[in-house]
Every structure is written in structure tokens, then in C-alpha cells.
Amino acid sequence: MIWKLFLAHVITDFILQAKKMAIGKLVFKNNLLHCLILFIISSVFLMNQLTIKLILMLITISILHGFIDYGKAFVEKKAGGKWNWLLFSGDQVLHILFIFIILGLFYPLIIQSYLSKFVVIVNSTNIFKTALFFIIISFGGSYFTASVCKGFNPNKEDKKSKEEKNSLDKAGRYIGILERIIIVASILIGRYEIIGFLIAAKSIIRHPEQKDKAFAEYFLIGTFTSFIWAAFFTFLYLKL
């Protein structure tokens, strides 16, 4: 049942949500229509199990879904477009969390079985070790790479170059975090060719900027420092 509820949620949010509806969640009509779509899809998926109790549960999930979306839209408006990625992530976490909670209130035995499986996974996996290395690799790598590159920065003189001015704010840091996560995943699944593809993709994208020899060297120092950091701590994670 829980996977059908999650599938109904992602179809409603990611496939059947029109742009007008997505940006107009503060309008009651748009929000109501979105909740109604969620209720209909959930009901279709669970049609062979429908009872009064189940219908009440789906109505509750749909109504809470609307409240969460309204709250997200309200905060987005106040934030003025900042932290959209964080609001999106928080919105999805709340949706999933409330599906769990409501399902647990209506069908506690189902949730107990999933919680038992979760406890087994937690006990068989050192979550604290995984979290430690994830933070070290993804975020710690940003500081280490920046420290290494600081002495080589070709734009550290009086003013930023035209290319640097046109660059997105803090884009380099986020690109670095994402590339280190990709490297970790590549090593963990044993697909090292993905790392080669990543290097090639970065080189192609940065090709116009590499006409400046100083910047090209700075770019390579940063890239290889980031890669070495991610690879070293991933192998260390696997050996410990």
C-alpha cells in the first residue's frame, strides 16, 4: 500500500502538475484541484482495497498535502525566490513523512512491519560512519579544494575578471559538491568510466575559458584536487 501512495504522490507532483498550478498554490482553486488529482490517483491505485476507512485516509492525506503545498508557497513568496532547492526538499520530506504518519494512524500494523525492516537496515549499517564520510567528502572537500586553489587564483588581483562576474553566485562550490558525490557513487558501484566521462564533460564545458592558460591551470588544479579528495575518502570509507 505504501508504495502505491508514494507513486500517486510523485505522479501528482511531478507529472500531472501544470506550471500554472505549481506556481499558484496560494490560490485555493489551484490547490484544491491539485489535492483532488492526488485523491483520484490514490483511489485508482487502491481501487481493489477501497473501504470507508481507506477513503477517509486518502482524504486526510490529500488535505494535508494541500496544507503543506500552501505553506511552501507562502514561505517561497516571503523568501523572494531564495532557497528554492531547500524548500522543495523540505516540501517533499514533509509529504513523505505525513504519508507515513497518517498510514500509521489508520493501519498501524503496516507501519510496524516497515519500521521493523528499517531497524534491521540501521543495525546492519553504520549510519554514523556513512554520514561522517558523506559530509567530509561533499562539504569538507569544498573547503580543502578552495584552500589549495587560493594561492593559484588567476583572478585574485584588484577586480574580478569578466568571466568571473558572469559566473553564478557560489556555483563552483555546488558543482564541486555534486561532482564529488558522483565520484563516490562511481567508486561504490565500480563504474570508474563515469569519472572519465565527468572529466571530459567539464573540459568541454569549460573549453572557451581554457584559452586563458592561467585559468586553465587553475581549473585543472581545482578539478584534480576535488577528485583526489573524493576518491581518497571513498576508498578509506570502504576499507575501515
pLDDT digits (tens, 9 = 90+) for 119-166: 777 677 677 788 888 888 877 887 777 776 766 665 554 444 554 444
Please, which residues have CB within 8 angstroms of residue 16's CB and are 6 or more apart in sequence? 37, 41
Indicate whether this model's pTM tops 0.85. no
- Under 8 Å between Cβ of 145 and 174: no
Cell of 116: 521493523
The three three-digit cell numbers of residue 213, written as one number:
592558460
C-alpha cell belonging to residue 84: 528554492
The Cα–Cα gap between 238 and 190 comes to 12
The predicted model gives 88-92 an average pLDDT of 87
Q: What is the mean pLDDT of residues 68-96?
A: 85
More confident residue, 56 or 28: 56
Mean pLDDT of 51-65: 94
Confidence of residue 98 (pLDDT cuts 50, 70, 90): very high
Cβ distance 225 to 140 under 8 Å?
no
Identify whether the C-beta of residue 4 lies closer than 8 Å to the C-beta of residue 42: yes
SS3 content of the chain, % helix, strand, coil (to 5): 85, 0, 15
8 A C-beta contact, residue 81 and residue 47: no
**At 106, which amino acid appears?**
F
SS3 category, 219: helix
